[in-house]
Chain A
Amino acid sequence: MDLYEYQGKELLRNYGLETLPGIVAGTPEEAARAAEALGGTVAIKAQVLTGGRGKAGGIKVVSNPREAREAAEQILGMDIRGHTVRRVYVEGGAEIEREFYLSITVDRTAKRPLILFSTEGGVEIEEVAETNPDAIVRLHVDPLVGLLPYQVREVTFAAGLEGDAAKGVGRTLNSLYEAFEGLDASLVEINPLVVTSEGHVLTLDAKVTVDNSSLYRHGDIADLHDVEAADVQEQRAQEVGLQYVKLDGNVGILGNGAGLVMSTLDVVAQAGGEPANFCDVGGGADAEKIAEALDIVTSNEQVESVLFNIFGGITRGDEVARGLLSAIEGTGITLPIVVRLDGTNAEEGLRILAENTPENVHTEETMLEAARRAVELARDGGR
């Protein structure tokens, strides 16, 4: 789960990280009032769950409430990489002397936390990795032991830091590691981490991603989930416990098992079509769940045909077929549905479908044939 900058900063402050004072605003008036309360030069920053807002014009530095209002007017409602800006963060200013980059991520290959530190702050780390890889210090932490003092020294010495800057960055790193563990984060990134002319080390921008699997033990963080920002279908799917991802095409896709569904999407693309979504209904032939999934998939108005790809494992093909028929009956869907059923008792399942099929249901034997059929039907327009 990705958090907005202002949410991430609030959580990081609990671990002792220093930030500038800031106020969230949802309207230009609120932004003007916030600028007045903070006083002096402030930054108006778009709050979106994506990167690249600076380049998109989503951050403006202003010197009074009137300018703050104008800036907020421009930024609110802006589209940044498909995300609509609905809030800005009005943040106080600081005299910046140096900018660094600091992050902790989960290194899947090493199976350990990985710390990245760079003296080139304010730039995307991928860019630094290409242009000046030597500017990046990398360090793995043993999760059973935690971050040790010598490792913190290794980072600050390798970065060539001295005096107060070394101490401040060291303290920040310790706090950030505590936050990474405490928040069950899969990413905590501070870019830039700045040293002010008074020697303070401040978190100027923060990106925090919390591991979805850990949310059961972080109810406070789970509550931060922004329902309004979520796609309608994705939100509904989440509520009923379905794995659903919306895409841009017109062939709706359902199947059982993440791998099989991903593969179905690929085969549809190979057949010249465009998948409208990823939807894993999980194992089982539970008619209610299939009906729910069908309803969500077809509520996306771009969908012109549906491809239902099921592999009968422990749940037999005949049960799947009966579940599907009752689901179609229950939802009253008239869009063309191509069913491809394979695995245990698939023949029996296909026979049941053939005998009872509503007009809009077509069966195919292979994934490839089913994909071609679904793509053709989508092209002809199912609605």
Chain B
Amino acid sequence: MAILVDDGTRLLVQGITGREGAFHTGRMLQSGTNVVAGVTPGKGGQDYEGVPIFNTVDEAVGETGANASVIFVPPPFAADAIFESLAGGLSTVCCITEGIPVHDMMRVAGYIENKDATLVGPNCPGVLSPGKSNVSIMPGDIFMPGNVGVVSRSGTLTYQIVNELTQRRIGQSSAVGIGGDPIIGTDFIEILSLFEADPETECAVMIGEIGGNAEQLAAEYVRSEMDTPVVAYIAGFTAPEGKTMGHAGAIVSGGESTAEAKSEALREAGIRAATNPSEVAELVAEALAGREG
């Protein structure tokens, strides 16, 4: 099994004719993802690499039975694209776009509360279930199918850690980038709960960073609700206060937002925490060995 996306995923790409959208649609098709539709307003009736393009999500869902979407729409129009996907009834929506205004995202977050849907991102690399479905901009070649679930606020740090897992022949069930923005859809807790419920996932990796308190909330969840072992890594110990470190959400603003506070919460919850990315793979190997023994 895998989480969020798998063999049954019928993907719709919003912004399929843009530079990023077109490029990554090609890659997703190459890695075997079932891309059934694209949406670009005004380009309905055309196709891209054999994928039919529609003017609206509603039309695309009606014609193709798409059940998930991935969004490559520029920031000023991206929140609208998320609303359109949610209104269209798609159950998994991945928004790759970086730079969506925070007020737009608060409205999206309010709207999604009454929907039975999962929004992944924005400002994220997407979701990849190795060998099943790739709804992401992640480099598929570094993944291998297996039993480790990965959830992260960062893209390249995920690739780094996944690559080291794969080099040790430790495969992954799914990798989910939840995004580096202050307001995001799904969070660590929701993804960890999906990994906990997934019989195939035997260990979860959680990659956090400075800003907010999502890691603390997740640590408490792991302690009280999870049997699956969790290995964590936090980035940003050297980040100065009040400076945005690349990701809009990665900013130390006192108290709970520091890497120290997050690590402390992880330690208190008894979670294995790595001090550098390479150590993550070592700790995962240990956790898996412990589970077998």
- Taken together as a complex, chains A and B put the C-alpha atoms of A121 and B240 apart, in Å, by 28
Indicate whether B236 reaches chain A with its CB closer than 8 angstroms. yes
Please tell me if the beta carbons of B103 and A184 are within 8 angstroms of each other in the complex. Answer: yes
Q: Name the contact of A313 in the complex, choosing from B107, B142, B213, B245 (C-beta under 8 A).
A: B142
Please tell me if the beta carbons of B142 and A367 are within 8 angstroms of each other in the complex. Answer: no
- Taken together as a complex, chains A and B put the C-alpha atoms of A108 and B257 apart, in Å, by 11
A184 CB to nearest chain B CB (Å): 5
A182 to chain B: closest residue by CB: B103
Please tell me if the beta carbons of B160 and A269 are within 8 angstroms of each other in the complex. Answer: no
Q: Name the contact of A280 in the complex, choosing from B75, B240, B246 (C-beta under 8 A).
A: B246
B106-152 contacts to A (CB < 8 Å): 106-107, 109-111, 137-139, 141-142, 152
Please tell me if the beta carbons of B254 and A258 are within 8 angstroms of each other in the complex. Answer: no
Please tell me if the beta carbons of B246 and A112 are within 8 angstroms of each other in the complex. Answer: no
Please tell me if the beta carbons of B246 and A258 are within 8 angstroms of each other in the complex. Answer: yes
Please tell me if the beta carbons of A213 and B75 are within 8 angstroms of each other in the complex. Answer: yes
A245 CB to nearest chain B CB (Å): 5
Please tell me if the beta carbons of A263 and B157 are within 8 angstroms of each other in the complex. Answer: yes
Question: What does the 1/0 interface line of A247-276 toward B look like (CB < 8 Å)?
Answer: 100000001111111110111111000010
A181 contacts across to B, CB distance below 8 A: 103
- Taken together as a complex, chains A and B put the C-alpha atoms of A186 and B248 apart, in Å, by 12
B245-277 contacts to A (CB < 8 Å): 245-250, 254, 259, 275-277
B46 contacts across to A, CB distance below 8 A: none
A198-231 contacts to B (CB < 8 Å): 211-214, 216-217
Please tell me if the beta carbons of A269 and B238 are within 8 angstroms of each other in the complex. Answer: yes
A243 contacts across to B, CB distance below 8 A: 245-246
Please tell me if the beta carbons of B245 and A278 are within 8 angstroms of each other in the complex. Answer: yes
Please tell me if the beta carbons of B278 and A366 are within 8 angstroms of each other in the complex. Answer: yes
- Taken together as a complex, chains A and B put the C-alpha atoms of A261 and B153 apart, in Å, by 13
- Taken together as a complex, chains A and B put the C-alpha atoms of A113 and B183 apart, in Å, by 11
Indicate whether B87 reaches chain A with its CB closer than 8 angstroms. no
A344 contacts across to B, CB distance below 8 A: 139, 141-142
B245 CB to nearest chain A CB (Å): 5
B254 CB to nearest chain A CB (Å): 7
Please tell me if the beta carbons of B183 and A106 are within 8 angstroms of each other in the complex. Answer: yes
Indicate whether B226 reaches chain A with its CB closer than 8 angstroms. no
Q: Which segment of B6-14, B32-40, B55-63, B204-212 sits at the interface? A: B204-212
Please tell me if the beta carbons of A213 and B156 are within 8 angstroms of each other in the complex. Answer: no
- Taken together as a complex, chains A and B put the C-alpha atoms of A368 and B275 apart, in Å, by 11
- Taken together as a complex, chains A and B put the C-alpha atoms of A280 and B207 apart, in Å, by 18
A255 contacts across to B, CB distance below 8 A: 156
B204 CB to nearest chain A CB (Å): 17
Indicate whether A73 reaches chain B with its CB closer than 8 angstroms. no
User: Is the contact region of chain A dominated by helix, strand, or loop, or is it mixed?
Assistant: mixed
Please tell me if the beta carbons of B276 and A262 are within 8 angstroms of each other in the complex. Answer: no
B109 contacts across to A, CB distance below 8 A: 111-112, 143
Indicate whether B163 reaches chain A with its CB closer than 8 angstroms. yes
A216 contacts across to B, CB distance below 8 A: 75-76
Question: What does the 1/0 interface line of A84-126 toward B look like (CB < 8 Å)?
Answer: 0000000000000000000000101101110000000000001
B111 CB to nearest chain A CB (Å): 7
B292 CB to nearest chain A CB (Å): 27
Indicate whether A148 reaches chain B with its CB closer than 8 angstroms. no
Indicate whether B71 reaches chain A with its CB closer than 8 angstroms. no
Q: Which segment of B94-102, B168-176, B191-199, B283-291 sits at the interface? A: B94-102
Please tell me if the beta carbons of A184 and B102 are within 8 angstroms of each other in the complex. Answer: yes
A342 contacts across to B, CB distance below 8 A: 160, 163
- Given A259-B157, A278-B246; A184-B275 close (CB under 8 Å): no
Indicate whether B27 reaches chain A with its CB closer than 8 angstroms. yes
Indicate whether B48 reaches chain A with its CB closer than 8 angstroms. no
B278 contacts across to A, CB distance below 8 A: 366-368
Indicate whether B235 reaches chain A with its CB closer than 8 angstroms. yes
- Given A258-B245, A259-B180; A266-B236 close (CB under 8 Å): yes
Please tell me if the beta carbons of B106 and A343 are within 8 angstroms of each other in the complex. Answer: no
Question: What does the 1/0 interface line of B211-237 toward A look like (CB < 8 Å)?
Answer: 111100100000000000000010111
Please tell me if the beta carbons of B101 and A184 are within 8 angstroms of each other in the complex. Answer: yes
Please tell me if the beta carbons of A108 and B154 are within 8 angstroms of each other in the complex. Answer: no
Indicate whether B21 reaches chain A with its CB closer than 8 angstroms. no
Indicate whether A240 reaches chain B with its CB closer than 8 angstroms. no
Indicate whether B91 reaches chain A with its CB closer than 8 angstroms. no
B105 contacts across to A, CB distance below 8 A: 111
B259 to chain A: closest residue by CB: A266
- Taken together as a complex, chains A and B put the C-alpha atoms of A196 and B239 apart, in Å, by 42
Indicate whether A311 reaches chain B with its CB closer than 8 angstroms. yes
Q: Name the contact of B101 in the complex, choosing from A113, A213, A267, A270 (C-beta under 8 A).
A: A213
Q: Name the contact of B240 in the complex, choosing from A245, A266, A311, A314 (C-beta under 8 A).
A: A245
Indicate whether B88 reaches chain A with its CB closer than 8 angstroms. no
B68-108 contacts to A (CB < 8 Å): 75-76, 99-103, 105-107
Indicate whether B44 reaches chain A with its CB closer than 8 angstroms. no
- Taken together as a complex, chains A and B put the C-alpha atoms of A15 and B18 apart, in Å, by 38
Q: Can you list 29 residue pairs at the A/B interface with Cβ under 8 Å?
A: A108-B249, A109-B217, A112-B110, A143-B106, A144-B110, A144-B111, A213-B99, A245-B244, A255-B156, A256-B156, A257-B155, A258-B180, A258-B250, A259-B158, A259-B207, A259-B209, A259-B235, A259-B247, A263-B276, A265-B236, A265-B237, A270-B276, A275-B238, A278-B246, A311-B156, A311-B159, A343-B142, A343-B159, A344-B141
Leading 9 A-B pairs by shortest Cβ distance: A259-B154, A258-B246, A257-B156, A259-B157, A313-B139, A111-B109, A214-B101, A260-B156, A262-B235
Contacts from A to B (Cβ < 8 Å): 106, 108-109, 111-113, 126, 142-144, 181, 184, 186, 211-214, 216-217, 243, 245, 247, 255-263, 265-270, 275, 278, 280, 311-314, 342-344, 366-368
